[in-house]
Amino acid sequence: MSPKKVSKSNPSDPFAARLGKVEALCELLHRQRLGELEYEDADLKIRLWLGSSSAGFGATAATEPAASAQTAASGSNLYVTSPFVGTFYRAPNPEAKPFVEVGDRVTKGQVLCIVEAMKLMNEIESELDGTIAQILIENGKSVEYGEPLFKIRQE
Amino acid sequence: MSPKKVSKSNPSDPFAARLGKVEALCELLHRQRLGELEYEDADLKIRLWLGSSSAGFGATAATEPAASAQTAASGSNLYVTSPFVGTFYRAPNPEAKPFVEVGDRVTKGQVLCIVEAMKLMNEIESELDGTIAQILIENGKSVEYGEPLFKIRQE
Amino acid sequence: MFKKILIANRGEIALRIVRACREMSIRSVAVHSVVDADSLHVKFADEAICIGPAPAQESYLSTAAIISAAEVSGADAIHPGYGFLAENAAFAETCANCNIAFIGPPPALMRLLGDKISARLRMAESRVPILPGSGRLESATDAIARAERIGFPVMLKAAAGGGGRGMKIVNDAESLPASYELARAEALAGFGSGDLYAEKYLPSPRHIEVQMVADAYGQVVALSDRECSIQRRHQKILEEGPAAVLTDEARATLFSLCERACRDLGYQNVGTFEFLFDRGNFYFMEVNPRIQVEHTVTEMVTGLDLIREQILVAAGVPLSSPFARRPRPRGHAIEARIVAEDPETFAPSPGRISALHLPGGFGVRVDTHVYEGYAVPPDYDSLLAKLVVHAEDRPHAIARLRGALEEFVVEGIATNLALHRRIVRDADFCSGQLDTHFLERFAA
Amino acid sequence: MFKKILIANRGEIALRIVRACREMSIRSVAVHSVVDADSLHVKFADEAICIGPAPAQESYLSTAAIISAAEVSGADAIHPGYGFLAENAAFAETCANCNIAFIGPPPALMRLLGDKISARLRMAESRVPILPGSGRLESATDAIARAERIGFPVMLKAAAGGGGRGMKIVNDAESLPASYELARAEALAGFGSGDLYAEKYLPSPRHIEVQMVADAYGQVVALSDRECSIQRRHQKILEEGPAAVLTDEARATLFSLCERACRDLGYQNVGTFEFLFDRGNFYFMEVNPRIQVEHTVTEMVTGLDLIREQILVAAGVPLSSPFARRPRPRGHAIEARIVAEDPETFAPSPGRISALHLPGGFGVRVDTHVYEGYAVPPDYDSLLAKLVVHAEDRPHAIARLRGALEEFVVEGIATNLALHRRIVRDADFCSGQLDTHFLERFAA
């Protein structure tokens, strides 16, 4: 347990530590655009709920990037996200085979796809070793900055 | 446990400590714009809910009438409120003695004051037996509809 | 000039008057019922006085409460807004007796114009065209005789009427007695007088009205015309101006006859002449001797502040430069009344506004007393906001209104926003094919 | 006409352009950085694309990201708004190379006007009055010689400049070398070019500017003038129009010379000619070849939609009826820029807006991308909202602005609302005694 990162108060004070946790969970709630969150550990049990008092009207937005990092963690799965806006290609050219398929083992540095921006073909490499769990974008579709492209199950 | 940061009260008092916690959680609720928050630890279990009282900006109006009933209860004290907007007079005319003073015993139906509206002198009667605990308006001042005039301690 | 004005009203019009007072450096006094303590007109006025409980009879309609509030606050004038006491001649007389200026026409004129039969006759004397019709009806038998002279179909109307109550269309002599009794009963219940008269019924007229202003020295000006054909049960939903259907010649004729009628009446303050327009002809309906909800349309196209002018005129100031002659309108304005009502049943929909976003930007004006978190009380009319757009011509104004309606968000209560969004996309509306039955066909 | 416009900007101007597109039935594409996902321009555009992380260099200033977003969304035009890439000729050229219309003047003109020295010379050729000044300065020694010819005090200015960076007032020859080096360093750091020139320094001029519009066929019109003397460190805080100080003759002369200069340049799209005005004389400062923040002032007094006209002109549509000749202004408009900054230190004040109330009603316009609950990111400029009022003359506009500022509530972050409330009650401001040092004296 390491409340240091989330709390600015004395970490030896259990309530301050818990408050730090709650604060961090609130931030997570907002950042991840959740409506509700229930959390429990050895010394904290909490439910947060973003009721009608929240975020002005239309609290909304569907297709927002999950994270801005190129590889965003979620459990033991990781997401490879697009480093720029452009067009997603699974293969180096229309005739070629895709770089990867679901179930393929990939290694750090291996090319996973191409994102074309301004006629430039940018190869996107894996940042870790693992197995392709899911391909989230169809070939030829456009992607936003930060949009998840692949789900990779970590070894 | 060191609740000093969150509570201004005596830190050796467990309730003060808890109150400090609640205070901190309330601040968090507002700052994080939650609608509801449930919290539990070894010595505190609480649910905070930002209900309909949140009333948009400028959470409103200081001098609102306590109640629209002519006699509004509050503990064992009751308030006699003005039944209309007008001018409050404690005596039937400038030369006369006031109808009542603090400490006077009054009975149901006894005239307590006059509220003048449109040149009409309206006598305001007590609706119960009791003792005048407080006179809330100065002689000759204007009163709103529903404004408390007298506090009466009930027998 | 007045030092302090008490605003005997609530909602958006009360806030509108607070704003005018503030710009004129006149102190404003808001009065409110218990349930209106959180309304914006109360927050933004210089002073606020709670005058009674929720029912309007004991607060906004209580002469005693309002006069008393004016006396304790030291107000030297009362602005009645629209509705409530705005057309109540007795209230205006009480103000005069208490040495408080009533911001409106002289009480005698309010009384004359409040009786639709006497108003009709006075207009006819001033050569304002009226529909073929009758004076006061004596009985059902009398009504049949008069209706046959006029020619069926006819409309039975309450002499003290307004807002559609006591109005019945009668197609033939057989059905007249039943309608007569019904209209009489409605009129009696609604206005305390069962007096009726009959008028020729027009099947598909447009509603055209003229905004007038007149000072205490005989200066009279027709400021602009508006079309308000989009109504539901004689309640206006959407108003616009200038009326697209009028030629410059028709408009000039109409304005001149309204000005002449005002001069003949000795009219003072602002007022609206309402007409039915059918196949190129105008027929006088009534004069509203007060500010109207849709005065905003005239303000947008003329750039002139009608509430301020109303106050100036009531204080005895002569009409001055921009008001002293007919202004040249600029562009086109449309007002959409956003009301809290169920879109299917049209039942009022009070409750708390859980989320609110008002549109903004170029050519978009919103007049409202509500805000996010505000609870709409069930006790009063359901108007939440007036959304007014202005652009250089009617098509651009419609486009602007369409966009503003898309941006308008009200959550927590039902509103007629969806109805407005349908209206502004309707082909007949866009091409200007309007009459007072537009919404009936539209809803079908 | 364009089918789809990508808006390469954020904040209120992006929303302003979204609204114009919607009214023209053109699809709009909002681009945004990660931290701007909740901004209103993103919510109200037809499409939205996240183009990069918070730093503007990697999002709103990234040609690659923006062109790529235009390509994947199929936009056929890009509106750059103001700031960011709006005056970047290379970006405009890239647009042209990618067959995307850039909504602004031709790149060659942007380049010419971006170099203040060449702009000065071109204006002189068109007989636009300029201040006594120099060409490019070769060295501090050269600068002293030129300054002595001009006469001290002089202002050293960056050739590529704007916004006050690289500007130094020099009172005598002794202090010139130090100022020269400082200005050079600032200019190099700010604009990538250390080129300087010198101009006669005026101690208390007014800032007067003229809004121009020109189509692709040589039609040029001066639409209106604005005064923007209320500045802090060359950043405008409050703008108004028409400039109260100008006589009709002075205005006509000024408009004619701007129109002539535009014709000589072959100018296209909208643009602003900025002048210093001192003792009855105008001196050219610069041309801003883009829409400006304060274009709203011109929109209010002319009733004309400048963003729409900008799009029309870029699409090759000739100026048509209301734009084809100088419009007659109606009344007076004032814009107050509401920014998120500490009122004492003027440091930006990002954070979450915990409570917000925007003023409304007659003659009040608010352009803003924020709402209650919105978090102002620390990454961009601090403009929150433009509050624009319009009334029949300057005193009434000031009264309206005063009231609107009282109604304006922003909680959770610091703003300059209090500063504006002081300005509108200042006697010099109310009587029109303005110059570009107004705020300095005012703060003292």
Dump pLDDT digits (tens) for D97-108.
Answer: 999 999 999 999
Tens digits of per-residue pLDDT, C257-269?
A: 999 999 999 999 9
Helix axes D176-191, D140-150, angle to 10 degrees: 110
Contact C79, C311 (CB under 8 A): yes
8 Å CB contact of C357 and A52: no
Output DSSP code: residue A34.
-
8 Å CB contact of D65 and A142: no
Tokens linked to C306: 């009608």
Mean pLDDT of A43-62: 48
Residue D416 has pLDDT above 50, yes or no: yes
Q: Does B45 contact A at CB distance below 8 Å?
A: no
pLDDT of residue C234: 86
Contact B87, B116 (CB under 8 A): yes
Interface of A with C in 10-69 (CB under 8 A): 52, 56-58
Is A22 among the domain residues?
Answer: yes
Tens digits of per-residue pLDDT, D58-78?
A: 999 999 999 999 999 999 999
Residue D336 has pLDDT above 80, yes or no: yes
Sequential pLDDT tens for chain B (155 residues): 332 222 333 335 566 666 667 767 777 776 666 767 777 776 677 777 664 333 322 222 222 333 333 455 445 788 899 999 999 999 999 999 999 999 999 999 999 999 998 888 999 999 889 999 999 999 999 999 999 999 999 86
Domains of chain D, residue spans: 4-103, 132-200, 206-443
pLDDT of residue B16: 60
Give residue D52's pLDDT band: very low, low, confident or very high (50, 70, 90). very high
Shared domain for A112 and A140, answered yes or no, is: yes
Q: Residue type at D364?
A: V
Mean pLDDT of D6-19: 98
Q: Does A15 contact B at CB distance below 8 Å?
A: yes
Exposed e or buried b per residue across A88-111, where buried means at least 16 C-beta atoms within 10 angstroms of its C-beta:
bbbeeeeeeeebbeeeeebeeebe
Shared domain for A24 and A94, answered yes or no, is: no
Q: Which residue has the tokens 């907002």?
A: A30
Can you give the length of chain B in residues? 155
Shared domain for A81 and A139, answered yes or no, is: yes
**Strand ranges in D15-66 using DSSP code E only, listed in sequence order:** 27-33, 47-52
pLDDT of residue B59: 24
Residue D111 has pLDDT above 70, yes or no: yes
Q: What is the pTM of this model?
A: 0.86
Report the mean per-residue pLDDT for chain A: 73
Shared domain for A36 and A97, answered yes or no, is: no
Is B86 among the domain residues?
Answer: yes
Residue C316 has pLDDT above 70, yes or no: yes
| CATH number of this structure's domain D206-443, picked from the four choices 3.30.420.240, 3.30.470.20, 2.60.40.1260, 3.20.130.10 | 3.30.470.20
Q: Which residue has the tokens 């502040």?
A: C305
Give residue C163's pLDDT band: very low, low, confident or very high (50, 70, 90). low
Picking from D390, D381, D409, D418, the residue whose alpha carbon sits closest to that of residue D12 is D381
Exposed e or buried b per residue across C66-101, where buried means at least 16 C-beta atoms within 10 angstroms of its C-beta:
bbbbbbbbebbbbbbbbbbbbbbbebbbbbeeeebb
Report the mean per-residue pLDDT for chain C: 95
pLDDT of residue A51: 55
Shared domain for A78 and A149, answered yes or no, is: yes
Q: Which CATH class name applies to C132-200? A: alpha beta
Q: How wide is the angle at C-alpha D138 spanned by C-alphas D136 and D140, nearest 5°?
A: 115
Query: Can you tell me the distance from the alpha carbon of D390 to that of C413, in angstroms, rounded to the nearest whole number?
Result: 33
Mean pLDDT of C179-205: 92
Q: Which residues of A touch C372 (CB under 8 A)?
A: 56-57
Query: Can you tell me the distance from the alpha carbon of C122 to that of D311, in angstroms, rounded to the nearest whole number?
Result: 55
Residue C3 has pLDDT above 60, yes or no: yes
Mapping DSSP onto H, E and C, the string for C419-432 reads: HHHHHCCCHHHHHC
Query: Can you tell me the distance from the alpha carbon of A101 to that of C200, in angstroms, rounded to the nearest whole number?
Result: 80
Question: Which residues have CB under 8 Å from C362's CB, separation 6+?
Answer: D16, D19, D296, D299, D305, D365, D367
The shares of helix, strand and coil residues in chain C, as percent rounded to the nearest 5, are 35, 25, 35
Q: Residue D356 is nearest to which of B30, B33, B57, comparing CB atoms?
A: B57
Picking from D313, D329, D321, the residue whose alpha carbon sits closest to that of residue D392 is D329
Mean pLDDT of C315-326: 92
C402 as an active site residue: the answer is no
Shared domain for A55 and A97, answered yes or no, is: no
Give residue A17's pLDDT band: very low, low, confident or very high (50, 70, 90). confident
Mean pLDDT of C55-73: 96
Residue C399 has pLDDT above 70, yes or no: yes
Query: Can you tell me the distance from the alpha carbon of C256 to that of C245, in angstroms, rounded to the nearest whole number?
Result: 18
Mean pLDDT of A61-72: 36
Strands of the A111-117 sheet, one edge to the other: A120-125, A111-117, A86-89, A142-143
pLDDT of residue D443: 63
Q: What is the CATH number of domain C4-103?
A: 3.40.50.20
Shared domain for A81 and A148, answered yes or no, is: yes
Give residue A29's pLDDT band: very low, low, confident or very high (50, 70, 90). low
CB atoms within 10 A of CB D220: 20
Tens digits of per-residue pLDDT, C106-124?
A: 999 999 999 999 999 999 9
β-pair type (A148-154, A77-81)? antiparallel
- Write down the catalytic residue from C10, C27, C120, C290: C290
Shared domain for A90 and A114, answered yes or no, is: yes
DSSP for D150-191, please give it. Answer: H-SSEEEEETT-BTTBT-EEE-STTTHHHHHHHHHHHHHHHH
- Using alpha carbons, list the distances in angstroms from residue A18 to A13, A39, B15, B48: 9, 12, 18, 16
Shared domain for B78 and B115, answered yes or no, is: yes
Phi, psi of D282 (to 5 degrees): -100, 140
Phi, psi of A86 (to 5 degrees): 170, -160
8 Å CB contact of B34 and A54: yes
pLDDT of residue A69: 33
Give residue A82's pLDDT band: very low, low, confident or very high (50, 70, 90). very high
Give the number of domains in chain B. Answer: 2
Is B120 among the domain residues?
Answer: yes
Question: Which residues have CB under 8 Å from B56's CB, separation 6+?
Answer: C38, C371, C372, C373, C374, D355, D357
Question: Which residues have CB under 8 Å from A23's CB, separation 6+?
Answer: A6, A7, B28, B32
Tokens linked to B10: 């005596």
8 Å CB contact of D390 and C296: no
CB atoms within 10 A of CB B4: 13
Output DSSP code: residue A97.
P
- Write down the catalytic residue from D10, D120, D251, D290: D290
Contact D89, D105 (CB under 8 A): no
Picking from A48, A102, A42, the residue whose alpha carbon sits closest to that of residue A77 is A102
Report the mean per-residue pLDDT for chain D: 95
Contact D67, A121 (CB under 8 A): no
Shared domain for B27 and B87, answered yes or no, is: no
Shared domain for B143 and B76, answered yes or no, is: yes
User: Residue ranges of the alpha helices (H) in A51-123?
Assistant: none
Is B8 among the domain residues?
Answer: no
Is A88 among the domain residues?
Answer: yes
Backbone dihedral region for residue C140 (phi beyond 0: left; psi -120 to 50: alpha; all else: beta): alpha
Residue A78 has pLDDT above 50, yes or no: yes
Q: Does C214 contact D at CB distance below 8 Å?
A: no
- Report chain C residues touching chain B, CB-CB < 8 A: 31, 34, 37-38, 42-43, 49-53, 59, 64-65, 67-69, 71-73, 98, 352, 371-375
- Provide the terminal-to-terminal Cα distance of chain D, rounded to the nearest Å: 52
CB atoms within 10 A of CB C61: 17
Q: Which of A42-56, C370-384, D76-90, D358-372 has the lowest mean pLDDT?
A: A42-56
8 Å CB contact of C68 and B84: yes
Q: Is the peptide bond between C203 and the residue preceding it cis, with omega within 30 degrees of 0? A: no
pLDDT of residue C94: 97
Picking from D329, D330, D328, D308, the residue whose alpha carbon sits closest to that of residue D320 is D308
Percent residues over pLDDT 90 in chain C:
92
Q: What is the ipTM of this complex?
A: 0.80
Tens digits of per-residue pLDDT, D266-325?
A: 999 999 999 999 999 999 999 999 999 999 999 999 999 999 999 999 999 999 888 889
Query: Can you tell me the distance from the alpha carbon of B145 to that of B82, in angstroms, rounded to the nearest whole number?
Result: 6
Shared domain for B21 and B83, answered yes or no, is: no
Residue C248 has pLDDT above 50, yes or no: yes
pLDDT of residue D260: 97
pLDDT of residue C354: 93
Q: What is the CATH number of the domain that holds A129?
A: 2.40.50.100
- Using alpha carbons, list the distances in angstroms from residue D286 to A113, C398, D129, D146, D280: 48, 38, 12, 21, 19
Q: Which domain holds residue A28?
A: 14-60
Residue C33 has pLDDT above 80, yes or no: yes
Picking from A135, A140, A95, the residue whose alpha carbon sits closest to that of residue A116 is A140
pLDDT of residue D233: 85
Tens digits of per-residue pLDDT, D156-191?
A: 999 987 767 789 999 999 999 999 999 999 999 888
Tens digits of per-residue pLDDT, C168-179?
A: 999 999 999 999
Mutation target to probe the B interface, by most B beta carbons within 10 A, among C39, C72, C97, C356 is C72
